Structure 1
């Protein structure tokens, strides 16, 4: 049991380290856009750190930013006044669950939501030359409106990189998938899931809802590893 606890702590630490990695690689070596005479330019890729992820957008000029954000409201109403209001956490979470999103234009302040804004931090490591600023902004403007959403395959970072570099990609998705691979490959995952399944059977009783996951999940992890 001590080994199982140590294993869970190790994996939790790995997830925390990924978050620190995202924030550290984003912040290092970049200034606020308004400092030291570096004004924002139309077509700039902007990123702001959030609690669990980094949010991306494309600067359109005139203090406006186009960004893809999960939002359930466009699926429920056509009221422009409601749709133009700032997306709340509840709207965002429900939008994620139902895979509804919109590419919308907000003010720089609403996009930043009090966080530090980083400008074009991907350019150095993208491996692809950024498109001209006017083309980047035009591509973003053409996508404004409702779009399907996927946390892993069509998120705000995919939108921003598609506009900026002509190729949709997401470092956050890649890092998350690598973390999942490491969990699957670690045979201790089989022992952990099997133990949790047995515990659920002890407390909830032997039934298809407890027995099948107890058998199938560890077996799948074992075969995948």
Structure 2
């Protein structure tokens, strides 16, 4: 998936492999990235509150600080299906967000959604979509009631098959019973 370059170019998406999840940032040049992080996040390890945060701040920091000891790579994986904006526009759009507090939701408005919105003007997150599918699959297997954030039309076919549709940020309760 990732193109594996270790020398990012301005406008590249950076995927950072943290212990529990992947963090995403946008490379803006001179060793810096712009990314969304919760205020308690050290940027190196990620805080335990990252998964439950509802607000986050857009920061410009050195990639080496954000990544810490975690591995990272350039990953412009959506270039196959989406057209990137011109680099100058990506950087301009990113820089206007620095210091701004933004809504945050792991499944509906996360760090990957933020940087893909900057690069493509289309907010997508495979990480969020696969999390919804895993939660749905676990609920079917366990026969439990599950509250799932509803996703936009950019969701993958797997989510569509799971019949999770609606407006981003809204919630739908899906009650499942064994045998379905």
TM-score norm. by structure 1 comes to 0.58
Match of residue 4 from structure 2: 31
Provide, for residues 16-59 of structure 1, a one-character-per-residue CA deviation record: whole Å limited to 9, x for no partner.
xxxxxxxxx44xxx33423xxxxx32211111111121111111
Of structures 1 and 2, the larger Rg is shown by 1
Structure 1 runs (4+) greater than 6 angstroms displaced: none
Runs of 5+ in structure 1 lacking a partner? 1-24, 35-39, 74-85, 194-218
Is 1:134 paired with 2:68? no
> Cα distance, 1:178 vs. partner?
1.1
SS of 1:222's equivalent in the other structure is: coil
Match of residue 103 from structure 1: 58
SS of 1:41's equivalent in the other structure is: coil
Aligned CA-pair RMSD: 2.6
Provide, for residues 129-153 of structure 1, a one-character-per-residue CA deviation record: whole Å limited to 9, x for no partner.
1111111111111222211211111
- The structure with the greater share of residues assigned to strand is 2
Contact 1:71-1:95 within 8 A present in 2 as well: no
How many aligned positions are there? 150
How many angstroms apart in 2 are the aligned matches of 1:88 and 1:108?
10
Is 1:171 paired with 2:131? no
TM-score norm. by structure 2 comes to 0.71
Runs of 5+ in structure 2 lacking a partner? 145-173
- The structure with the greater share of residues assigned to helix is 1
> Cα distance, 1:160 vs. partner?
0.9
How many angstroms apart in 2 are the aligned matches of 1:87 and 1:118?
16
Counterpart selection for 1:48 from 16, 22, 29: 16
